[in-house]
């Protein structure tokens, strides 16, 4: 039988083309957000590119399972899982960061002089500080502060309670404040 005239083959090709067009329209606009998340979690441009490429392949493969809703959250969830899988294979030690509750206790910092210093901190210092956060703190910081996701969206994506998201974000901010406060004190070398 002639392949060009096989109606099943033609229908399959049309379905694939339709899927690709819908994917490009729905998911591709979020490429920058996907790269941004992967870059911050891996802390390396090339690794982030590899992770995003793998995540987009996975997203396309499972695109039939996307039934509308927030396409950005759906994609970033895939990027997140892909990144954590990559980190597990390539940098297992980063995922094993121990968190000490007492060492990272949260306190009210609204009148703290360090808060004033943080507002004037150098952009590069902030980037270095964010990169030093444990991966789960970096993740919520990036999703909330850079990607503008809601607590609810982050909680759904990370499959954790909203309170956990809020706690991680508060602790990430506290660690940033401590790091930057130390770096900005007179006499501390950069």
Q: How many CB atoms lie within 10 A of CB 23?
A: 17
Express each pLDDT in 88-129 by its tens digit: 898 777 665 544 444 444 444 444 555 555 555 466 777 788
pLDDT single digits (tens) 39-69: 999 989 999 999 999 999 999 999 988 888 8
Helix (H) or strand (E) holding 100: none
Domains defined for the chain, CATH in brackets: 3-95 (1.10.1740.10), 113-184 (1.10.10.10)
Q: Tell me what the mean pLDDT of segment 19-42 comes to.
A: 92
How far apart CA 103 and CA 13 sit, in angstroms, is 58
Q: What is the DSSP string of 162-177?
A: HHHHHHHHHHHHHHHH
Whether the per-residue pLDDT at 4 is higher than 60: the answer is: no
Q: Which of 78, 65, 76 is nearest to 144 (CA)?
A: 76
Which residue in this structure is represented by tokens 């590069």? Answer: 124
Nearest to 105 by CA among 183, 185, 167: 167
């Amino acid at each position: 039988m002639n392949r060009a005239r096989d109606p099943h083959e033609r229908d399959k090709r049309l379905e694939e083309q339709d899927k690709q067009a819908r994917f490009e329209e729905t998911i591709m606009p979020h490429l920058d957000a996907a790269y941004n998340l992967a870059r911050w979690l891996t802390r390396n441009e090339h690794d982030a590119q590899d992770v995003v490429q793998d995540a987009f392949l996975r997203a396309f493969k499972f695109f039939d399972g996307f039934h509308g809703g927030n396409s950005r959250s759906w994609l970033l969830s895939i990027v997140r899982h892909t990144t954590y899988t990559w980190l597990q294979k390539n940098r297992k030690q980063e995922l094993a960061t121990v968190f000490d509750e007492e060492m990272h206790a949260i306190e009210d910092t609204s009148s703290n002089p360090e808060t004033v210093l943080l507002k004037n901190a150098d952009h590069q210092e902030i980037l270095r500080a964010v990169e030093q956060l444990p991966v789960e703190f970096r993740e919520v910081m990036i999703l909330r502060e850079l990607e503008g996701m809601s607590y609810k969206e982050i909680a759904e994506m990370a499959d954790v309670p909203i309170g956990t998201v809020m706690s991680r974000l508060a602790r990430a901010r506290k660690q940033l404040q401590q790091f930057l406060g130390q770096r900005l004190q007179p006499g501390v070398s950069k």
